[in-house]
Amino acid sequence: MTERFFDPELKAYVDNLRDALSAGAGPTPSGVEALKVKLRFRLTAFRLVRRARWPAAVAIVAGVALLLLVPAQPGFVGEAISAHRLYANDPVQPVEIDAGHREQLMTWLSRRLGEPVGAPALEAIGLKLLGGRLVSNDEGPAAQFTYEDGRGGRITLFVTRDDDSDTSEIAVEDDEDVAVAYWSDGRFAYAIVARAPETARRAADIAIATYRRSPRGR
């Protein structure tokens, strides 16, 4: 490939540069490896249903199979996105109780949700807790915590009871102008809504680690 663009001396340089960069970049870390496997699966699945040359019946069967393979987004995720859109960017009152009254906030929300709930510290990724509010979800009450970055951008952490008591792996999806990362740990179902998928993902990684250490999220 490179022969076309470079004389022999530059080609030797570019070849050596490639080796040096490969050595510098190192092996693929396991986190990247896992994402790669997911991406391959996801793209293969989409490729199957999009094959226009398939007869309609086969496409429908493939579509149904895909629905079974790729679980549908649970209902609380949509509620989390709605709550984020409705409250997080409210200029006057984004939260009902601010982070200055943290104990009061956590006691109130824990009582309403029926189990201890807390808001993990996300300062490590530049997000500061503004406070929280009680919101409603199909399944009952839910807690909404709002965080702010240094530039006025806000993210939502939505926590609600998960009576199916299933644990589920973290999933990240786009929804118009926001991204949502969601998962369940058997006790609660969680969703983090942010502008960028990688912010949602990073915040979710920290939250999962924190809740694993302590249900109160401290």
Interaction site with other proteins (CB under 8 A): 1-2, 5-7, 9-10, 12-26, 28-29, 31-32, 35-36, 38-40, 42-44, 46-47, 50-51, 53, 172-174, 179, 197-198, 201
Instruction: Work out how close the CB of 7 gets to other proteins at its nearest, in angstroms, rounded to a whole number.
Output: 8
- 187 or 201: CB nearest other proteins: 201
- 134 or 172: CB nearest other proteins: 172
- 109 or 194: CB nearest other proteins: 194
Instruction: Work out how close the CB of 210 gets to other proteins at its nearest, in angstroms, rounded to a whole number.
Output: 20
Three-class SS of residue 179?
A: strand
- 46 or 165: CB nearest other proteins: 46
C-alpha separations of 108 from 11, 134, 189 in Å: 67, 9, 19
d(CA 134, CA 136): 7
Instruction: Work out how close the CB of 176 gets to other proteins at its nearest, in angstroms, rounded to a whole number.
Output: 12
- 49 or 99: CB nearest other proteins: 49
Residue 77 burial class via C-beta count within 10 angstroms: exposed 0-12, middle 13-18, buried 19 and up: buried
Instruction: Work out how close the CB of 69 gets to other proteins at its nearest, in angstroms, rounded to a whole number.
Output: 13
CB 179 within 8 A of CB 173: yes
d(CA 24, CA 206): 28
Put residue 204 in one of left, alpha, beta given phi > 0 → left and psi -120 to 50 → alpha. alpha
Instruction: Work out how close the CB of 88 gets to other proteins at its nearest, in angstroms, rounded to a whole number.
Output: 19
Question: Which residues on neighbouring strands pair with residue 154, listed in sequence order?
Answer: 148
- 26 or 100: CB nearest other proteins: 26
d(CA 161, CA 59): 37
Instruction: Work out how close the CB of 63 gets to other proteins at its nearest, in angstroms, rounded to a whole number.
Output: 13
